[in-house]
Amino acid sequence: KAGVTQTPRYLIKTRGQQVTLSCSPISGHRSVSWYQQTPGQGLQFLFEYFSETQRNKGNFPGRFSGRQFSNSRSEMNVSTLELGDSALYLCASSLGNSGATDTQYFGPGTRLTVL
């Protein structure tokens, strides 16, 4: 089976722009979670989707949003980018209805740089 894929792998944007990141889970997995990783804050949970519904959301401003499609693929969007949004954005999929109660499999990440 193919693993979790994320596109693009690298992205450079300027402040004020918006960005959309994509995640394709492992075939058959229906739960997708997103995380932000920075040197200062470490790995932080953004949100989780299951069956096209957001199940949980982390403590991030409303500029961060996401969605899941009927084929379980997920996208996250960050609007009005700030310098502090520079990070590695990781997506994880799991077979069950929540990554918090099932083994999570991570994609390679999208490295976003905001100038």
Task: Give me the residues that bind other proteins (CB under 8 A), please.
Answer: 33, 35, 42-45, 48, 55-56, 58, 88, 90, 92, 98-106, 108-109, 111
Cα angle 80-52-65, degrees, rounded to a multiple of 5: 10
Considering the complex, what minimum distance in angstroms separates the CB of residue 78 from other proteins? 19
Question: Which tokens sit at 59?
Answer: 């403590």
Residue among 12 and 80 whose Cβ is closer to other proteins: 12
Closer residue to other proteins, CB minimum distance, 81 or 99: 99
Cα–Cα dist 14/39, whole Å: 20
In the complex, minimum distance from the CB of residue 108 to other proteins, in angstroms, rounded to a whole number: 6
Question: Which is nearer to other proteins, 19 or 90 (by Cβ)?
Answer: 90
Q: How far is CA 96 from CA 26, 102, 104, in A?
A: 12, 6, 9
Cα 62 to Cα 107: distance, rounded to the nearest angstrom: 24
Which C-beta is closer to other proteins: that of 99 or that of 114? 99
